[in-house]
Chains A and B, each alone.
Chain A
Amino acid sequence: EVQLVESGGGLIQPGGSLRLSCAAPGLIVGTNYMSWVRRAPGKGLEWVAIIYSGGTTYYADSVKGRFTISRDNSKNTLYLQMNSLRVEDTAVYYCATVRPGSGSYLFDDWGQGTMVTVSS
């Protein structure tokens, strides 16, 4: 079974920056599609960003221009750089593998999540 371990969450003031990490022992980050999904308190799941094995990235409209998804193949780690944070970015952030298929993509394996709280 794939193990994904997120870290880097915490309390940050509005306008601040934070970088989340997702370590993935047991799989090669650089050859997989990887994504970040979040769940705000009292809300549902929201897709945040994805990086394809070839390096192509896509972002949700709510974070485009503020968040950057990347990976370090030498460290086998996925990242989410979050800048200009807003109160509404408060959520548990999950790292997930993405399985491409016939005309669709699904989220296969998930980490346990890391909590980000944006508050003054």
Chain B
Amino acid sequence: SYVLTQPPSVSVAPGKTARIACGGNNIGTKSVHWYQQRPGRAPVLVISYDSDRPSGIPGRFSGSNSGNTATLTISRVEAGDEADYYCQLWDSSSDHWVFGGGTKLTVL
């Protein structure tokens, strides 16, 4: 089955830019979605279809997808962005929904 690989952790200083990678075989040919999960809370969709931002999500959040890597970019990082972030896609070959292992974003 399809595997998505994320770094376990990313650290960034406030005001800087965080980039969280999501690797997969030819992932650029698939649509990737990103979720934020703060401690004790339900996940929240922050990027859909590689780069679309749902209503209510700050413009600081953006996404891209090409080749074997999809990337979530958070500009001007704030303390409130500290959370776990997950990439996700639908694997049409198996009708399975796949999540990456998650990346813990720490704001220094």
Which A residues are within 8 Å of any B CB, using their own CB? 35, 37, 39, 44-47, 50, 58, 60-61, 94, 101-108, 110-113
B43 near A107 with CB under 8 A, answer yes
A47 near B84 with CB under 8 A, answer no
**Chain B residues whose CB sits within 8 angstroms of the CB of A60 once the complex forms:** 96
**Residue count of chain B within 8 Å CB distance of chain A:** 27
B56 to chain A, nearest CB (A): 10
A47 near B98 with CB under 8 A, answer yes
Instruction: Using known A-B contacts A45-B43, A47-B96, A58-B96, determine if residue A104 contacts B90 with beta carbons closer than 8 Å.
Output: yes
B33 near A44 with CB under 8 A, answer no
> In the complex the two chains form, what is the Cα distance from A104 to B42 in whole Å?
22
A-B contact pairs, 30 of them (CB 8 A): A35-B97, A37-B99, A44-B84, A44-B86, A44-B100, A44-B101, A45-B43, A45-B88, A45-B99, A45-B102, A46-B99, A47-B96, A47-B99, A50-B97, A58-B96, A60-B96, A61-B96, A101-B48, A102-B49, A103-B90, A104-B49, A104-B89, A105-B90, A106-B88, A107-B88, A110-B43, A111-B42, A112-B41, A112-B42, A113-B42
Contact residues of B between 35 and 60, Cβ < 8 Å to A: 35, 37, 41-45, 48-49
**Chain B residues whose CB sits within 8 angstroms of the CB of A61 once the complex forms:** 1, 96
A45 near B35 with CB under 8 A, answer yes
Closest to B29 in A: A103
Closest to A46 in B: B99
